[in-house]
Structure 1
């Protein structure tokens, strides 16, 4: 059984997490991190073992916090809620301005984990995908065949992830949100139509 974290370790983990959300992962260094959190690199290394171990713990926290918040947001959905409602709820949660720092950090970690030498980010993308898929599968009606529930969850997650990446890249929320649920009929203008001649 792992030892109970000390109050100081918990306090510093919270402070490091806030720093991570503000500054991102790229170029993360112990010296400025320690200065910003009111400690020293030596204390961080003593409490967390290594910089890589601290980064892995911060990434796990970001992933678990995001999934936990989303699970709460989905908890009040009835069993008859369709996957479309579920996907809409997922999009509304993750695309909100309040979630932008966490989404940016998790995307950064996701992409870094896919590089040839992922270092402390190794496995992050796969772990995140499995957690999100598990959440989306469980949120579907209990009588949904497992393979179908997983396929639907995969499609919904891919849609939301792709649109979030576009949102982060362009900061055009209206355009990206419109793509989340496009109109059933094509939009046409009221101008004259060609005669066909």
Structure 2
């Protein structure tokens, strides 16, 4: 059986969106096709047919989450302007987005997928953690002036910025202490 269908149907897109909403609410750790199918108005057989396998569905959900993450990070950093804003303002803007309560479901899903990618490097989770590191470094690079971006020091600075954001995100999700963690992020900028 193929892992991915060769065409994208409107029904597949509809079920992907419904499954994504389900994953945001329930996570992916113990994903079972029967409860998911019931929740999205489908059957396990239809999900297997449309996504090729449970792993194919999980991969599609991870791709969907990465797309949301990148879109929202870009918007948070207002990175599409003509002049780079610099790392410190970018970190502050991205942090403001990360710290917003309404983004917690996506961020919890991201953390779950990131961790699973590290401990289960094969299958549906393969490469997710590495891809998101690359995604975030690319977003942060767009914030740097050309001369900084293209230097070894520029890579070090954006890696440090990413480290601060990721560590702060984990702390925030674990404690919910927005004020304390936000103050630490501001101090690190």
Give the structure-1-normalised TM-score. Answer: 0.86
2:36 partner SS = helix
Q: Does 1:62 align with 2:65?
A: yes
Does 2:152 align with 1:147? yes
Identify the residue that residue 170 of structure 1 maps to in structure 2.
175
Listed as ranges, the gaps of 5+ residues in structure 1 are: 185-197
Match of residue 24 from structure 2: 21
Q: Does 1:93 align with 2:97?
A: yes
Cα deviation code 1:88-141 (max 9, x no counterpart): 011111121111100000001101111156531121100110111111112211
CA distance in 2, matches of 1:180, 1:54: 35
SS in 1 for 2:41: coil
Contact residue 73 and residue 94 of structure 2 kept, 8 A: yes
1:121 to 119, 122, 125: 125
Say whether residues 1:81 and 2:85 are aligned partners: yes
Q: Find runs of 4+ consecutive structure 1 residues off by over 4 angstroms.
A: none
* Distance change >3 Å, CA 176–CA 118, structure 1 → 2: farther
Bigger mean CA deviation after superposition, 145-154 or 24-33: 145-154
Pairwise CA distance, 1:78:
6.1
Q: TM-score, normalized by length of structure 2? A: 0.89
Superposition deviation, residue 80 in structure 1:
5.5
DSSP 3-state at the match of 1:153: helix
| Distance (whole Å) between structure 2 residues aligned to residue 27 and residue 54 of structure 1 | 14
Any gaps of 5 or more consecutive residues in structure 2? Answer: none
Aligned residue number for residue 156 of structure 1 = 161
Bigger relative CO (Cα 8 Å, ≥ 6 apart): 2
How many corresponding residue pairs? 183
The yes-or-no answer on 1:181 pairing with 2:183 is no
| Secondary structure at 1:81 match in 2 | coil
CA-atom RMSD, angstroms?
A: 2.0
Structure number having the greater helix percentage: 2
| Structure with the greater alpha carbon radius of gyration | 1
